[in-house]
Structure formats: structure tokens, C-alpha cells
Structure 1
Amino acid sequence: MTDDVSANPFLVASGLPCQLPDFAAIRDVDYLPAFEAGFARHLAEIAAITANPEPASFANTVVAMERSRAMLTRVENVFFNIAGACGTPAIQDIEQRIAPRLADHGDTVLLDNTLYQRFLAVPTEGLDAESSRLVAEYRKSFTRAGVGLDAAGQARLREINGQLSTLGTQFSQRVLQGINDAAVFVSDRTELDGLSADDLATAAAAARAAGHGSGYLLTLILPTAQPAMEVLTNRETRRRLHFASLGRGAGDGEANVLGLAAAMAALRAEKAALLGFPTEADRAIEPQTAPSLESVHAMLSPITAAAVRNAHAEAEKLASTAGHDIEAWDWAFYSEQVRRDEYGVDLAALRPWFELESVLENGVFYAASKLYGLSFAERTGMAGYHPDVRVWEVFNEDGSTLGLFLGDYYTRDTKRGGAWMNSFVEQSALEGTHAVVVNNLNIPKPPAGEPTLLTYDEVVTCFHEFGHALHGLFSAVTFPLFSGTNVPRDFVEYPSQVNEMWILWPEVLANYAKHHQSGEPLPEGTADRLRAASLWGQGFATTEYLGAALLDLAWHELAPGTTVEDPLAFEAAALAAAGMDLPAVPPRYRTGYFNHIFAGGYAAGYYSYIWSEVLDADTVAWFKANGGLSRANGEHFRSTLLSRGFSVDPLQAFRDFAGRDADTAPLLARRGLA
């Protein structure tokens, strides 16, 4: 490795269209020198702001701050997507080394009292609304970071932040190892009865890739529930798969994360106390759209009671169908049987109609074209960071470039579980930049030459993640701090959830759901049956989600000084206290693989999915009441909400869109909780 950055690809902005990172030129050895050069350059930029002899002004302080950090942002945006999508041992080593350095650098900037005083001195009279908001948000960021603490308090805070960054990196990397280690090997084909020929071929290919000369390997996805559980007829295979999933992170090997989780929760509680909050949950929720921790509990409590009642009723029905008591590994299998028998819906049998290419081009992109006037051109000459990554240029209706969209759809051993959207370049009028965003999914890759057939849940994920992409692409703000998805955590899921509404919209569904061999449309009435069946299983779905959300809050409502000696016992007690101790309905994520809250930025924030769903369900109702899939509706949603990022208060943006505050009734109806 060399510290010479004179030829480093991160030294200046990329010359490729929309500043797409030049992935072909980036090597692993470029990252650490680029980070170090970025730290030094940013500190020099900050020093220039604080040393400026002129009185503090919006231009020489706030705008200067917004223009700083460019090199560091370039390398950070690329590196952390690579760390999630291609986490090789070399990348993981860099991540472990750089995470505490980033935490320390952030503290160096935001705990700089001289810089803070200069921001306090910036006059705000005469500023436009976005500029005035920018000053206010920067001032808040300093105080939230702890600039008001004394020297001893700041020193301890920096220690905590460094330790949390190190532990979070270790947690994420061990969860990836745990997903790979927990894959279930099956030697006897008869034990996989129920899997389609395509699924069997994928499992056989996974076994060969893992070094098995024969047999099949069932790889896992991040949540507790595994898709194969819906179709495997062999109860023992389902049981093996369930316990492989449930036990991740809690074994005796190197992938155990329970001690890391407990240590992080204790450090977060101490940090909250240092900053004047009763708990980490109070501190984390303070800048969100939810007004308080108490308001979050007030919303979740009645939904929890109703969801558990529905789950018990569903369990009784499933036991009647199965002829025996329902265990956790039985639920999905018999739930799908009820869906088939009573609603005429066989989700597994629909996969031939959900081919990835058609879902993308004729579904996801088509809906965006009809609603927003967008068009897409794949740029095969633009390299992604992996051979599986594809690049599309996205155009507005008038033919102007909106930005670039990258898709990385297949799972691999070096890719963390789940699905996510990242920005490589954020839109900013100040910098004259267009957005460059990526969607990452974890779809099993079929053997060469075979089609990629999606489950219905994977179709939902494609539309959902593209909703995040649209939020980033449509950004039309001046300042980078406000760009795209840089909104409160409990608002960020809202636009992505809204985009799911087009999956079963008749015009969209008819355009993409065609049999991959015959081209035939979905059998008549399938969409109606899917809609009719949508309430079935909501007791389970809501309960498993709320179990995870309440477990998250329990970990982050610890009193300062509390030490959790037995994380699994703590987890069990937390679920029991919340009335969620249903053995047949485990939480969507258990502590041992709850990457969202211990390594993914959602600490005390997993509630945000259902909090955002209030806005989502109300927005879906608005679209249906106003004509649905139309350019006028799309333009209204884009101009009043999607394009505004954090340049306005998010709930005000919703009022600008809907003309009123949100109504909870559509959410309760959607989940069968009215």
C-alpha cells in the first residue's frame, strides 16, 4: 500500500456521467489513503472557516461547511456500499480500521466549540427558507453531538463513539458470517419435496459453490422467516431450517454477537445520559418526526394487542388445517395452504410470471414512466463495482438527465443480508450534481442460462427499494445536507412503501406479470384473489414485526449503568413484558442477527416502518381517490414531497401533498386492525 494519493481515483470528482464513481479504476489499496487524505483535507477546510477574520456569514461559514468534506464523502459513499455488497476479507479489514477513525473525525468537527460559536454568530435575517433551515439544522447537530459538554464529558463521549463504531462493524461482519455458516445442507433430494425445479437447481449450485460434491444447500436471508418454509413438505427439513435461522449469532463460534449487542446497548445508555437523556431511545427519537418515545409506545400498544389477538385466531385456523398444534416451522407452510384453499392463491406457483427482467423493465420502470414521465436507458458501457451490477441512465419527460440508477440484485457470500438503497452521489444545486443511487437485493442467482424467477415478496422488495431510489433521484434541493433520503429515520421508509402500491395496479401488473416461457398473462382473477387474501396472515406479519420493534426499544430503554449478562434471557423477558412471547411467532429479527439496530442505523428506530406506514396507507388512499396512476398525481407527489428531501419539515411536506394531517384509518384497515 502507498500513501501517495496523486493518482488516487477519489482525489477529484469522477469525470464519468453524473460523477459515477470510476469503479474500473478503484482498487482496495486506494481506500485507506483516500480516507486519510479526506480527513486531512476536511480538517484544513474547517480550520479555514474558523480562522476567517471576516465576521461569520451564511456564505463564509454555512455554505463553506456544505462545500467541505467532498473528498471524504466520495470515498465514504463508495466504500460503505462496497463493504455491504462485496465484503471481502480485505474490505472487512479496512472497515474495522476506518470505522473508529470516522467516528473520531466526526467528533473532532462537531465538538469544535470555535466552529459552533461561528455558526451561532451567522445572521439569519433575510435568508430564504431553505437557507434559514440549514443554519438551524447545523446548530442542532452541534448540540446533539455534545458540543456543550465539559472537557471530561467530551473525552468520554469520544471514547464511547469510537467503541460503538468498532463494535458495530464487528457485529455486521459477524452477522454476515452467521448467515453463511447457517446454510442448511441436505443430501437427500426427497427431503426437499415442494421446492421447484428452479429452486433445486439454485440449491445444488450453492452446494457446489460451497465445496460440496453433491447435495443441496439452503442459503438463508436475513430475517427469521425463510422463503423455503412456505413450500417444503418435509416437516423435519422445515424444523432444521427454522432453528438454523433462529440460532444465528448465539452459538459458540466466532459468529456469536450477543456480547457485542449487550456492550453496545450499555454504551448507548451511557452516551444518552451524558447528553442529558433518560435513555438511548429518548435520545434517538428526539430528532425524528415522532414527538417522543411515549408517543411511539402509545401508537404501538393498541396495535400490538390487536395483532396478537389476530395471530392467535390464525394459529387456531392453521392447527385445524394441519390437524396438529402449530409450531413456528409449520406456520408459513400451512398459512400458504389456507391461502391456496380459501383464496385460490398459490404464491409459489406464481413465480413463472415474476421474471426479474420483466419485473424491472415492465413493472418497476413502467410504473415510474406512467406516473412521473421517466424513461430508462441501460448503459452497458458503464462499469459497476461487480459484474452483476447494472447501470441505467434515468431521464425526465423532457429528455433531460435526472440521474443514474444502479441495480445489484443477486446474493453472494460477501454481501450482507437484506435489501437497501445507497447514494454514491447526492443531488445538490449548490454543487450542480445529479443523484447516482443503487438498489441492493439478495435474490438467489440461478445457474447460468436460467431465468431469475422471483417470489412475490421479492417483487415487493424490488418496488420498495426503487421507492427509495426515486426519493434520491427526485431530490431538488440546494444543499447536500437536505438531499434525497437525508430525512428523519421514521420518515425515510414512507416513499418506498408508497411505491409498493403499483405492484397489483391493473395496468402495471398486466404489463410485467407474463409467463417467462409462454408470455401468457396471469390467470384471470389472480390479482383480485391476491387483494382478497391480503388480510390473511396480517396477525402473523404484524406480530412478528412488532416483536422486533419492541425488542429494539427494550434494548434502548436500558437505564445507564445497566449490564445485561444474559442477552437471550433479556430478549425473552422483553418480549414477555410486551405480550409478544408467542413461540410460534418469533420476532422478525432476534438479537443475534438484528443488524438494523446494532449496525444499520436503526437503533430505537425499527418502529419507523409502521410509523411511516400511517403516511403510506393514507397516501395510497389519496391516489385511489384521485385517479390513481396518472401524470398529474405523480407530478403532485414529486413536487410537494419526493423532491423536497429535508429542506422542509417532513410532516409539512405531507400536508402540502395531502392538504391535511395523516389519518390512521387506512393503516388499521390495511392490517385488519380496525
Structure 2
Amino acid sequence: MTNPLLAASPLPYGLPPFEALSADMYGAAIEEGLAAHLAEILAITGNSQPATFDNTALAMERSGQLLNRAAAAFFTLVSADASAEIRELETGLSPRFSAHQDEVYLNRALYERFAAIDTVNLEAESARLVEEYLKEFRQSGIQLDAPGQERLRAINADLARLGTEFGQRVKKGMKSAALLVEDAAELAGLPADDVASAAEAARAAGHGGKYLVTLIQPGNQPALASLENRDVRRRLFEASVGRGSGGGHLDVLDLARDMAGLRAEKAQLLGFANYAELVADRQTAPDFEAVQTMLGRMAPAAVRNADAEAAALADVAGHPLEAWDWAYYSAKVRREKYDVNEQALRPYFELDRVITDGVFFAATALYGITFHERPDLKAYHPDVRIWEVRDGDGTGLGLFLGDYYSRESKRGGAWMNSLVDQSGLLGTRPVVTNTLNISKPPAGEPTLLTLDELRTLFHEFGHALHGLFSNVTYPRFSGTSVPRDFVEYPSQVNEMWIMWPEVLSNYARHHVTGEPLPQDVVDRLEESRLWGEGFATTEYLGAALLDLAWHTLEPGNVPDDALEFEAKALAAAGISHPLIPPRYRTGYFQHIFSGAGYAAGYYSYIWSEVLDAETVDWFTENGGLARTNGERFRQELLSRGNSRDPLESFRILRGREARLDPLLKRRGLE
């Protein structure tokens, strides 16, 4: 049988033909793609003609299409629907991808051809392409001697292997740590649909008649805000924050230590003081010191706000507070002080309506695009829905895939990825996915969202818009292929439409009665906006500063006891709080230890939020949900990808450099 991945997909927009693919086909296509790409590079370096933009840079951008096509489809499955065969294949292929990257960017002949290109008369995007390639060569170690390059290759292979193992153990650990309870009475306070989902999860796991509270990726579990039984809260909390660090075959602390040591050695080999310095060299932040300064400015104010919240919670609780009590009594304060019951809001946030009348509605109002579901197209799992996105003039823009429900084969968290990148050079249009982990209700029951899930839905669609609106020539610059500390910015901006009156009134309707969310409830939500920001900012900064602590180590100085190191690092950063663990602890910090690309860069969410807060102000000052605003944001920022300096795109949009004050005001940190 012919492997469909070996040729361009005949499906609309190049959607991979998932239904026709077996696990061995992914592996075979990737192996053939790796070989084909090296042959294409050999043709570039073997060209007897002097290096020009066309015969070197353009040839490089056209190369690797088979590999990219196969890898995009494969890694979508790795994250969202990984069978045992796919996981085994990932283990074998991860070092191969690492070695291939080294074969490309440690290729002296290829580097010398790029260095010889005359860029004087090139237009701006083409000159930037050459500049970005040369930068990647340097950051990849092209300047090292042969022994140095050999050691770097070994380090990269080890990091790829360890990162894959970390991710696979964390996925298994999240499943293993789910809380099984015998009696529904133990789940008192949990909404009825969540209890039903827990019963369904237990049945699917072979525990019929019991209840399984599954986990989400961050430490703070949603059920903690509702469970009335304090001991059940404790058990759930301890199961969550203890993942990956309790010994046994799912413990990942050894992997984290090994990776931190290897990254420290890699940074030193490349001429940087530590891995965080190396990563900062690739970002929009001017340097690592600027990142430290911003986080250091925010941490004391966040902890002060958290302490004030803790005192208020203790008063309400009437007993000494423990970490597993925080979410429960915080929800109680919202109900009593602000008359806001988050669980009572869920009937107004039904998934299908939020998607069509909220997320899509806002995008149509801003950008004129429309969404047309394509049930004739099939993805990698039956739960995945596919929409064709059309521009204001009716022309096809791309495909959007929504994969919303959790399942055993999916890793935790939420993300966007690209199956096909937009490129004028290759004539390709985007195919992008949003993947979430919402508990699937029993058949026939509605999917009701929490406020956090609602926010995640809008956030991830902001990433999708960044991919869908890409309008660049070269695939290297497409969509979200921007520095890590810029990539979260457009997605965070898209969250502003959640509570925008015109959008909210369109989607926030009771799923049974159709009644809109009452205006007095909306007003109370706004009044309570800053409640909990102390917790949220402290929790986030704890993870960001823990990330930097692991990545400012020197070679040979990696601690033996990872948990002791974690505690000392948080205390030294002034962000240690007995009631607020970091959003991610070392044992399940998948962002930084399993190839998600956030190592020494988890700070990027807050760095991007500086730009986000400024842009929300810009939208508001200019009339909000208006086509003129949407078109400007699309043309000057979303469509540009990395084809020009992303901060230049921001400056053109805003008319000046970004300021920190709007973010401090938003988070109550003035």
C-alpha cells in the first residue's frame, strides 16, 4: 500500500489523510523525509555556482517538505492521540530529529554559503531570512571546533531522549494520580455534571460504580473550589502536587536534574554563562537581566496581595488554612463578598454556544471571517471537529480543527499547533488545531465550562488566529514562528473579548432557558476581578522563577535533592508561600522539561502580557470590537509572523514602546 504521507495530501488545504495512516507509515515517511532533506541540502552545498539568495536561501526554504509534512502529522498524534505504537515510535525518533537538526546547523559548507549571500539589494523580508538563518547557525554551535561539536551533538541527543521520557512519564503520572472515591457522598459540593463525568471516567477505567476525579496539568485542580469534604480536598491536592516526585517508575526528578546539567553544559559550550542567558539571546527581551528585573519587581507585590487574601480566607474558614483549603474558601469569599458563584455560571457557558456565538462571533465581528463546519473531513480522532475558515470576500483562508475533550491518549493542558504552515513561496494555506482537556460528559448531556475553561478557549483561539492570518512569503516566518516570549501575546489579547458586552451577551445564555447572563452578575464579576490575583500572580511567578532557577545552574552544580533545591530557589526569589505552590512543580513541569519549548522561557506569559495589556488599552481607546481595529491588528501584527521584528510590529500598532504600568494595574500590583 502506498504511504499517503509521501506525497502532498489531496485533501482540502493539505489536511493530512489521518484515516488512511497507520503508525508504521509515520515512521517510514519521517525516515524517508530525513534522508530526502539531507540530499536537498547536499545539492545546495554542492552547487558549483557562487552562493546567491535564490540558490541557497530560497532552496533551503523549499527543502524538507516531505519531512515537515510527516512530522507535523506525527507530533499532532504524539500530543493529542498517542497509542502505544506512537509512543514507542516517538522514543525512537526524538534522538533522530535532534541529530538531524545538528546535521543541518553544524554543516560548515551550508553556513559558509549563507554567510556569502549579498543581502544589500534584497527586500526586507528576504534580508531578514538570511539574517535569521545565520543567527541559528551561531546559536547551534557552528563556531565550535570538531570536539566541541561532537560533544554538543551528544548533549542534544541526550536532551531529546530525556525530554521524551519526561513527557511520557508525566502523562502516565497524571492518569495514575487521579483520585478514586467509593461514594458520591464524598463528592458533595461538586456540580452534578462533574459527578456524572467522574462516574463515566471511573467506568471507562474499569471502576464501575465508583468515581474518578481526573487531573488537569497545573497543580491547582478545579474540583478543589467545590469539594466540601476537607479530607477529599487534601487527598486531591496531595495527589496533584506530588506527581512525578514520589519515587517509583513515574518519578521524573532524576530526568529534570540530568536535563538541567546538560543544558548548563550546552550553554557554557556555546559561550553563555548559563542556559537562561542562551535562551534570552533568542527572545525579544533585550537580555536575561531585563527578565529578572521585571519578575523581581512583581514578586514582592504579588506575595503581599496573596498574604492579604490568605488573611481574609482564614477569617471565613474559622480555622488555620491549609493549601488544599485555598480554592474552596476563595470561592466562598467570591460568593459572600461579591455574590459571585462560579459554579452557578456554568449553565451559561455551554461549549457549542461559546464556540459559535462567542469565539467565532468575535472573530467575525473583528476580522470579517466566517466558519463553515466540514463534517466530510476527518481528523485523527472522532471527537475532533473541522471548520473551513473563509475570508471576508468568501475566499478560503484555511482549516481550523477543534479537539476539546480529554482522553487517556492525550497529554494534559491546552495548546495550538500547525498541521500546515502558510507560505507564499510554497503556495500553502494554514491548517491549525486547538487542543483542550475538557471533561467529556455522558452522552446527551451538555458540556458546561468553568470560567477558566472559557478563558482557555478564547486564549487558544488567539493562537489559532495568529496561524490563520499569516501572510508571509517564507515558511520559516509563518504564523506563530516568533520568539517564545512573543508567542503568547496575540492569544492573551483575544481573551479581552470574553467579557466584552456585545460578545458576552451573544454567547452567555442559559443552556436550558436561553436567558442571558444577568447584567447584575456581570457587574459583580467585574467588581470581583482583582480578587484572587494575589494567588494567581504568586502561583505563576513561582513557576517562572523556578524555571529560571533550574536554568541558571552551572555545570557540575546540579543539586542531588530536586525538591530541596525547589524550596530553596523559591525562598531565595522571595516567592515562597506556604499556601501557594508554584503553578507547576518540578515533578510535572512539562513546559520546561519535555520539549514544549519553554525551558528558561516560562516567564514569556507575563512578558507577553505587558504587550497584551497595552493592546487591550489600544482596542478600548479606539472603539473596541470594530472591523477597523481588527483589520489593523491583523495587518500590522497577526499576519506578519516573524517576517519582521515582532516588537517593531507592536510599535507600529501602538505607536510607541510598551510600558509596564497597564499590566501592574490589571493585576493590582501598582
Q: TM-score, normalised by structure 1?
A: 0.99
Task: Please give the per-residue CA displacement for 1:326-372, whole angstroms capped at 9, x wherever unaligned.
Answer: 11100001101111111121111100010000000000000000000
C-alpha displacement of 1:29? 1.2
How big is the shift at 1:222?
0.3
Ranges in structure 2 where 5+ consecutive residues have no aligned partner:
none
Aligned equivalent of 2:79: 84
Whole-angstrom CA distance in 1 between matches of 2:301 and 2:169? 36
Q: For residue 521 of structure 1, what is the aligned residue in structure 2?
A: 516
Equivalence for 2:147: 152
Deviation (angstroms), 1:544: 0.3
Question: Residue 41 of structure 1 aligns with which residue?
Answer: 36
- Is residue 602 of structure 1 aligned with residue 598 of structure 2? yes
> Partner residue of 1:657?
653
Q: 2:194 aligned with 1:190, yes or no?
A: no
Could you tell me which of 222, 226, 251 is aligned with 1:256? 251
Within 1, Cα distance between the matches of 2:382 and 2:263? 39
- Which one-letter code corresponds to 2:356 in the other structure? E
Among candidates 92, 98, 101, match of residue 103 of structure 1: 98
Give, in whole Å, the separation in 2 of the partners of 1:470 and 1:589: 27
Provide Cα deviations, 1:109-165, integer angstroms capped at 9, x if missing partner: 110001100111111121000000000000111111001100000000000000000
Cα separation, 2, equivalents of 1:104 and 1:76? 15
Alignment correspondent of 1:646: 642
Letter in 2 for 1:603: A
Q: Which amino acid aligns with 1:476?
A: N
Show the counterpart of 2:47. 52
Please list the CA deviations of residues 300-343 of structure 1 after superposition, one character each: whole Å capped at 9, or x if unmatched: 11100000000001000000011112111000011011111111
Structure-1 separation of matches of 2:558 and 2:332: 45
> How far apart, in 1, do the equivalents of 2:423 and 2:520 lie?
46
Q: Which residue number in structure 2 is paired with residue 265 of structure 1?
A: 260
Question: What is the aligned residue count?
Answer: 669
Determine which of 420, 423, 427 is the counterpart of 1:428.
Answer: 423
SS at match of 1:24: helix
Structure 2 residue aligned with 1:487: 482
Structure 1 CA distance, aligned partners of 2:609 and 2:326? Answer: 25
Alignment of 1:156-175 (within 5 A): 156-175=151-170
Q: What amino acid does structure 1 have at the position aligned with 2:147?
A: A
Aligned residue in 1 for 2:540: 545
Match of 1:572 in 2: 567
Q: Is 1:468 the equivalent of 2:443?
A: no
1:627 paired to 2:623: yes
Of 493, 500, 517, the residue aligned with 1:498 is 493
- Who is 2:315 aligned against? 320
**1:306 counterpart (282, 297, 301):** 301
TM, length-normalised to structure 2: 0.99
Identity over the aligned pairs, expressed in percent?
62
Give yes or no for contact 2:316–2:333 (8 Å, CA) kept in 1.
Answer: yes
Cα shift at 1:252: 2.3
Residue of structure 1 aligned with 2:279, choices 281, 284, 292: 284
Q: Which of residues 24, 27, 30 is equivalent to 2:25?
A: 30
How much does 1:529 deviate?
Answer: 1.4
Deviates more, 1:9-18 or 1:367-376: 9-18
TM superposition shift of 1:627: 0.2
In 1, the alpha carbon distance for the partners of 2:578 and 2:85 equals 40
- Structure 1 residue runs of 5 or longer lacking an equivalent are 1-5
Amino acid in structure 2 at the alignment position of 1:453: L
Q: CA deviation at 1:537?
A: 0.5
Aligned to 1:3: none
Counterpart check, 1:179 vs 2:174: yes
For 1:325 and 1:285, the matched residues in 2 are separated by 42
Give secondary structure in 1 for the equivalent of 2:410: coil
Quote the offset at 1:253 in angstroms. 2.2
Q: Which amino acid aligns with 1:150?
A: D
Report how far residue 563 of structure 1 moved.
2.7
The aligned residue for residue 88 of structure 2 is 93
- For each residue in 1:475-505, what CA deviation from the matched residue of structure 2 results, as whole angstroms up to 9, or x when unmatched? 0000000000000000000000000000000
Secondary structure (helix, strand or coil) at the match of 1:534 reads coil
* Alpha-carbon distance between aligned partners in 2 of 1:500 and 1:472, rounded to the nearest angstrom: 17
CA distance in 2, matches of 1:666, 1:275: 37
Q: How many Å separate the matches in 1 of 2:540 and 2:602?
A: 9
In the other structure, the counterpart of 1:347 is: 342
8 Å contact from structure 2 (residues 300, 575) kept in 1:
no
Q: Give, in whole Å, the separation in 2 of the partners of 1:235 and 1:202.
A: 21
* Structure 1: distance between partners of 2:83 and 2:399: 26
Query: Match for 1:555 among 526, 550, 554?
Result: 550
Match of 2:441 among 434, 442, 446: 446
Say which SS state the counterpart of residue 408 (structure 1) adopts: strand
Structure 2 letter corresponding to 1:428: S
Residue 381 (structure 1) aligns with:
376
- Paired AA for residue 653 in structure 2: F
Q: Distance in 2 between matches of 1:617 and 1:532?
A: 19
Question: Aligned partners of 2:297, 2:654: CA distance in 1, in Å?
Answer: 26
Question: Could you tell me which amino acid in structure 1 is paired with residue 665 of structure 2?
Answer: A
User: For the residues of structure 2 that align with 1:583 and 1:181, how far apart are their CA atoms?
Assistant: 26
> Offset of 1:539 from its aligned partner?
0.4
Cα distance in 2 between the residues matched to 1:400 and 1:526: 40
